[in-house]
Amino acid sequence: MRQILIAVCDTDRTYGQKLGEWLSLEKGERMRGCSFSVLKNFLEFQEKDQADVVLLGSGFWEEPAITAQMKETAAESGSPGTLWIYLADPGTRQPLPELAQHFPVIRKYQAASQIIREICFYYQKFGICEQQPSLPNREILGIYSPSHSIWQTPFALTLAQALSLKEKVLYVNFRECAGFEEWLGENYTRDLLDVMYLCLTGEGNISECVGSGVYALEGFDYIPPAGDSGCLGEITGRDYLQFVRLLAEKSGYEVLVLDLGMMVSGFFGLLELCSKVYVVSDPGELQGNARKHFKRITAKQDNGELVKKITYLQLPKLNGELCRGEKMQQWIWGELGDYARRIAGVQGGAD
């Protein structure tokens, strides 16, 4: 996959260098960042090696030479060769030019990871990039608890972290009330529903659609669960299947971990897409009854291949880890992490 070349242009040299370096270090597989604090240097660079994305900060977007290039882009039909984005500084009273109405605007002083998500969103929206080649042999892992174990999601996250030690992993949460904002202390601007919409409308590159909403956690990437989870029951089974297929074939990840909640439309079709399904439960007789019920429903599908994919796991008895401090670190280095790492290295399991 070709790297996206991003130029950060701002007279604040320190800001530009830090953002450009962060792009190259943290997103080196997909993006390459460079920075310019002098207009002449940027214009010389554009003549030799045109940037895919240009972030225009203070001291640049006011320049006539820049304005002329932007007007040329705005006048062109079809996909622009360069995506121009204004870096808006709310601390200055200087208004943006009228030309800014034709180009995206990103708030300058915010987390670099959020800036990247917004760049990805606009990049795929403008349809500049080439489509990611299909990767049909990706591994898809499904995780489901018929008894709605409170430990299902901590186990799924910890398993994703264990797998990320050797492969590029994307975790996707389809549960209706996942509680991620409270657990991880994040305030999400985009979530699963936004990413699904972008991917299914077919308006852009799948990897960039995903990149516009993906977050990083302990070595793997994840798509935040739906904020308005009532919409999950309104999505068709066909759309769920198509979305997961697109992620598997064109997102660029080697492993997908699907954390499944309610039996949404097309639920067993999703399980059939998986290369392996872990059905988890807590210790106890009541948990066992829910597992038996799930087995009966699965048997009615009359799908021997699906039955072979399912491994039933009884999670270890976990006391209090959910309520302490840095939750993800507690899970990774506690008993749950030990258990997940063992599972990550096992091809199958005992019923």
Q: Which range marks the domain in which residue 270 is found? A: 139-344
Pair 326, 264 in one domain: yes
Structure tokens that stand for 55 in this block: 């972030």
Q: Return the pLDDT at 230.
A: 82
CATH code where residue 101 lies: 3.40.50.10850
Pair 176, 98 in one domain: no
Report yes or no on 58 lying in a domain.
yes
Report yes or no on 133 lying in a domain.
no
Backbone angles phi, psi at 66, to 5 degrees: -70, -45
Report yes or no on 351 lying in a domain.
no
Q: Return the pLDDT at 8.
A: 92
Q: Return the pLDDT at 259.
A: 95
Pair 162, 214 in one domain: yes
Which portions of the chain are predicted below pLDDT 50? 77-79, 128-135, 321, 323-325, 346-351
Q: Return the pLDDT at 286.
A: 66
Pair 163, 296 in one domain: yes
Report yes or no on 216 lying in a domain.
yes
Pair 170, 203 in one domain: yes
Pair 264, 296 in one domain: yes
Pair 154, 117 in one domain: no
Pair 207, 99 in one domain: no
Pair 144, 101 in one domain: no
Pair 183, 257 in one domain: yes
Report yes or no on 70 lying in a domain.
yes
Domain finish residue from 125, 159, 179: 125
Domain finish residue from 125, 155, 184: 125
Q: Return the pLDDT at 145.
A: 92
Distance CA 197, CA 193 (A): 6
Report yes or no on 321 lying in a domain.
yes
Q: Return the pLDDT at 135.
A: 42
Pair 102, 152 in one domain: no
Q: 55 near 8, Cβ under 8 Å?
A: yes
Q: Return the pLDDT at 142.
A: 96
Pair 22, 79 in one domain: yes
For the chain, how many structural domains are there in total?
2
CATH code where residue 305 lies: 3.40.50.300
Domain finish residue from 57, 92, 125: 125
Q: Return the pLDDT at 125.
A: 66
